[in-house]
């Protein structure tokens, strides 16, 4: 797998891309009776297509039953539908075995599951190496693990524009870290990390590797077998699916080593008041009643994504991000983060698309990001403003926060033009 998007259009891209047909499948974006919203916050959560909403409604209206537990037909069908999604996820991320797919409540839950599960394997001599631009969900669980075990959390240094400093990474790998935790795509800046190469280096040093794929899963064709990481985590709501569901992929040997974070029903094999034995994977790590409707919705989201022309979508999103970067760079008083300005000013598709997908971070010079966000909202523009759950990255960039505009497959050039027009008005008001 390539860890960066392919910037060369395929032959299929000679055919017209009907973005209107895609947009019409998303109720919030296609409802004529409500004020039109320019939604540029897909990195926070994507909109949901009709098919996902209908799949969840169908379960609640016609198939509601618990899974794995009932002898009656309704429960058996719910179990089949639920477990079919495990197979879909396995195929979607190219895992070798369906037992490697653990359903969680999201990326945060998945990373916590791993960090908790490794408690008995770390000690005070160990180092936990973390991506310096990581989301808090890929920092705080490791800090909690370090507090329990005495291990030391160590960040990888960043370059001036927020990319991982690969020379610092190599230097810290020489210290033989026990765990290496990386982001596939940085949530605040949309920068793409070369995780396959970085994981390979970490493995050579004997490290346990985890990749946070929350921002990658909807934009990159993820192949966990090629990345070869021990763990890969992502959320359904970033990939046109529902909230409250996510996936932890793990190599079977790595998953077996985890001490379950939650215990109780579903994950057991035998229970007595003297002793309990745990069941086999994946049940061993899925205690309690799972988020059944959400898992079914996740399956529908995978079906939806796979029904689209992936090359068209990828090229469409790349063009949008490059166009967004170019239009922002033409405005006065705008600061851009995590991008190469020389690439943006190119007449061709910028080489910057090798490093950024989905999101662009910016500020109006001298103005508070929250003020910008509020004024944009008054014009119907939805962007994210704040520290983006990446305070260490903001500190590195010398910021208290920033604005982030992010796109999905349903976004279009009209969204970008409307956003830029509104931002010009904001600049006129504030500057």
Distance of CA 182 to the CA centre of its chain: 12
What are 128's two structure tokens? 């936990």
CA distances from 19 to 305, 312, 316, 409 (A): 14, 10, 9, 8
To 10 degrees, the CA torsion angle through 256, 262, 267, 269?
A: 80
Length of the chain: 431
**Which residues neighbour 258 within 8 Å (Cβ) at sequence distance 6 or greater?**
113, 114, 116, 117, 118, 250, 285
Q: Helix, strand, coil: what percent of the chain each, to 5? A: 45, 15, 40
The string over 243-257, giving b where at least 16 C-beta atoms fall within 10 Å of a residue's C-beta and e elsewhere, is bbbbbbbbbeebbee
* Cα 237 to Cα 234: distance, rounded to the nearest angstrom: 9
Q: Which position among 38, 229, 322, 389 bears the catalytic label?
A: 389
Does the annotation count 389 as an active-site position? Answer: yes
Nearest Cα neighbor of 355 from 128, 184, 114, 129 is: 184
Residues designated catalytic: 389
């Amino acid at each position: 797998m390539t860890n960066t998007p392919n910037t060369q259009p395929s032959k299929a891209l000679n055919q017209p891309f009907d973005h209107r047909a895609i947009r019409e499948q998303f109720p919030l974006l296609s409802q004529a009776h409500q004020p039109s919203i320019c939604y540029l916050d897909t990195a926070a959560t994507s909109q949901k297509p009709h098919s996902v909403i209908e799949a969840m409604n169908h379960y609640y209206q016609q198939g509601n039953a618990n899974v794995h537990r009932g002898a009656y037909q309704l429960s058996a069908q719910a179990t089949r539908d639920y477990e079919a999604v495990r197979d879909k996820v396995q195929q979607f991320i190219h895992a070798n075995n369906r037992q490697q797919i653990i359903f969680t409540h999201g990326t945060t839950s998945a990373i916590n599951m791993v960090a908790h599960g490794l408690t008995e394997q770390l000690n005070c001599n160990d180092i936990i190496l973390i991506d310096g631009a990581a989301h808090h969900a890929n920092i705080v669980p490791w800090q909690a693990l370090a507090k329990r075990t005495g291990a030391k959390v160590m960040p990888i240094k960043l370059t001036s524009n927020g990319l991982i400093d690969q020379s610092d990474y190599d230097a810290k790998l020489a210290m033989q870290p026990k765990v290496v935790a990386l982001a596939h795509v940085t949530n605040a800046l949309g920068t793409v990390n070369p995780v396959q190469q970085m994981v390979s280096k970490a493995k050579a040093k004997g490290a346990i590797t985890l990749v946070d794929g929350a921002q990658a899963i909807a934009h990159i064709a993820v192949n966990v077998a090629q990345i070869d990481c021990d763990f890969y985590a992502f959320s359904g709501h970033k990939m046109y699916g529902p909230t409250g569901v996510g996936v932890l992929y793990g190599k079977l040997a790595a998953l077996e080593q985890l001490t379950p974070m939650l215990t109780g029903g579903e994950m057991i094999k035998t229970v007595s008041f003297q002793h309990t034995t745990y069941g086999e994977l994946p049940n061993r790590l899925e205690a309690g009643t799972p988020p059944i409707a959400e898992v079914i919705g996740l399956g529908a989201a995978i079906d939806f994504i796979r029904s689209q022309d992936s090359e068209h979508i990828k090229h469409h999103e790349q063009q949008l991000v490059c166009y967004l970067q170019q239009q922002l760079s033409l405005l006065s008083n705008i600061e851009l983060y995590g991008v190469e300005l020389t690439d943006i000013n190119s007449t061709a598709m910028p080489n910057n698309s090798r490093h950024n997908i989905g999101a662009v971070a910016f500020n109006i010079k001298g103005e508070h990001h929250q003020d910008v966000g509020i004024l944009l909202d008054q014009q119907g523009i939805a962007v994210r403003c704040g520290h983006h759950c990446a305070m260490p990255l903001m500190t590195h960039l010398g910021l208290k926060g920033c604005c982030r505009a992010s796109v999905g497959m349903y976004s279009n050039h009209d969204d970008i033009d409307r956003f830029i027009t509104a931002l010009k008005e904001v600049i006129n008001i504030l500057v």
